[in-house]
Amino acid sequence: MVTRSLAPGRPGSVRAPSQPTPPGEASPPGQLLPAAQPLLCLASLLAGWLVGGTASQWGGPLYVIAYLAGGTGSAVTAWTALRRGRIDVNVLMLVAAAGAASLGAWAEGGVLLFLFSSSNAMEFYTLGRTRRAIRALVALRPAVALVRRDGETAVVPADTLRIGDVVLVRPAERLAADGVVTLGESSIDQAPITGESMPVDVARGSVVFAGTINQRGGLEVRVTKNPQDTTLARIIALVEEAQAAQVPAQRLIDRFGQIYAVVIIAGSAVAYGVMVAAGIGGGTALYRAITLLVVASPCAIVISTPAAILSAIANAARRGILFKGGAFLEALARVDTVVFDKTGTLTVGRPAVTNVVAIQGDERGVLATAAGLEQRSEHALADAVIGACSDRDIAIAPADSFESVTGRGVRGRLAGAVVRVGSEAFMREEGVAIPERLRPTVTRLQMEGKTLIYVATGRLDGVIAVADVPRPQAAAALRSLRALGITRLVMLTGDNAQAAAAVAGRLGITDVRAELLPDQKAEAVRLLETAGQVAVVGDGVNDAPALAAAHVGIAMGAAGTDAALETADVVLMGDDLTRLPYAIGLSRRTRRVVAQNLTLASLVIAGLIALTLGFGLRLAFGVVGHEGSTVVVVLNGIRLLVYRPRPA
């Protein structure tokens, strides 16, 4: 397996993202500070050259120092690889440097080690930017929390919080735990968790997350999750796992890495024999063989994929998009069909008042009358009516009496008058006549999939239409998907056909399949997969069979939802659907960057091999071309850290 330095640690090693080298921590054996190795190598190399090289008293020792500075880290890693039966790229570089020294080309061997260690240092710092973007999540949770226990208040380490603790959160402080607000009102900046751009108002009963920022009011929060189980902790773990996982392209490279390395060594030996047989001097033939060993090493190919994947995963995490692995990032780039659940995905997931038809009085009066009784009801439709009054600043008078008729409606007295609120069947049972002139309007609203609430004070006052409306960003998200070339958009829902058709019509979705059970949704996804690559977007709980059946399962609005974090391949932490086209655009850009890197690396290697065999390319120039291509592909991948979609 040919490896390359991808993380802080010895050159050629891969250090898990969950174990970054903290500031001040001693470097692993064989490695100085990342920049110190190439700097000491260069200084010794220049000093040796200035004093006359190996011909002088001090030149030889200075070159040895240069070799030790530039090659010790690689030697440690190469030895570890050899003990495990692998040929590491560091082995190839050390063999080439030793061969150069054996020919008396100490300076050129030193240049090889200087540029190789410089390349490692650049990878250390550039890929470190990716890991710093992820490690910044760790710093979101405060180290301590102000807790009330047994009637006493104390400051305790955040990692000692227990379920049931009451945490006091002051203005401008970060929350130390996931929990439920028990006292106080405020606004919470949830951007670190959900990516929401605007603060969210919270009050008693609101769910809040560790790592978010309290804005203006004091809060008391009852802890509902242990520190290791918070949404923030889960996010960090998922991103680290995603960074550690290899994408299929990288697995393919590693699978043939050992064979490729053996071919390079054998090919260099064969080239040496052929050149000697052709009458080329032994020294010249060995020099070219060593140069061939250097230029054919697959450093740039090996680093090309992880440099791009890690950067893309970090970029997505900052936007509240979690990829559970590079394989899903790669798979999302191939998607040509997107399937949506309706309720809670394309719609807000709760009913809202859409129309008010007044027969007596005006719309405000109809809403106020209905809300007078509904404020004592626990039905979801009652919440919609009360919310509409709140949005319109309509005062609600308390009812004098209240009675619920299960499955029909409510009745009571309001300002001394008998009021009835409920379905059409309830109105007929109560002897309230429905004017015939209202029938066309009622039919139209029902055809739009809306639920109707009739309001009567003696006679019918009016009708309130309630529906689960599309999310504000849904239409824009679908337009962006179409702009990306995804024209096959499908809605699968268990809701009735009328309601599904109404929502689909407003969003421009023509392929609608309604009244489906969860297993029927999964079967529909399998049929769609016979014609293309399918992504399913749902809530991660009742859509689990469809998410599992898809090439890529995407859960949205998953902050704090363990089932969503476990079920889906990609998680949109907030409720903003516009993150979906962002994720697809990012995945496609990543695929293009990986292709660019692999093409560039392969062309450079082929060109350098041709120059070495055909024109006797100098070792120093071969090193510059080889290491230069490695740095270029790393920097090209790092560009994904600042990816932004083009304006539509």
Just list the catalytic residues. 341
DSSP bridge pairs for 338: 489, 535
The three-state secondary structure class of 187 is strand
Distance CA 313, CA 247 (A): 12
The total number of residues shown for the chain amounts to: 648
Distance CA 628, CA 529 (A): 43
**What value, to the nearest 5°, has the Cα angle with vertex 324 and ends 543 and 339?**
35
Q: Tell me how far CA of residue 223 lies from CA of 150, 203, 207, 278, 288, in angstroms.
A: 15, 15, 10, 79, 68
Question: What six digits make up the tokens of 122?
Answer: 């650049």
Which residue from 161, 587, 531 is spatially nearest to 336, judged by alpha carbons? 531
Q: At what angle do helices 282-295 and 619-638 cross, to 10 degrees?
A: 0
Distance CA 545, CA 46 (A): 65
C-beta atoms surrounding 1 within 10 Å: 17
Question: What six digits make up the tokens of 140?
Answer: 């979101």
Q: Tell me how far CA of residue 332 lies from CA of 329, 338, 498, in angstroms.
A: 5, 10, 32
Distance CA 177, CA 220 (A): 12
How far does Cα 646 stand from its chain's mean position?
Answer: 19
Distance CA 496, CA 447 (A): 11
Rg (CA), the chain: 33
Asked if residues 490 and 337 have their Cβ atoms less than 8 Å apart, the reply is yes
Give the sign of the dihedral formed by CA 100, CA 102, CA 104, CA 110.
positive
Question: What six digits make up the tokens of 151?
Answer: 């009637």
Q: Position 123: which residue type?
A: E
Distance CA 215, CA 405 (A): 43
Distance CA 272, CA 279 (A): 11
Distance CA 406, CA 229 (A): 40
Element (H, E) at 282: helix 282-295
Q: Which residues have CB under 8 Å from 207's CB, separation 6+? A: 178, 179, 180, 224, 560
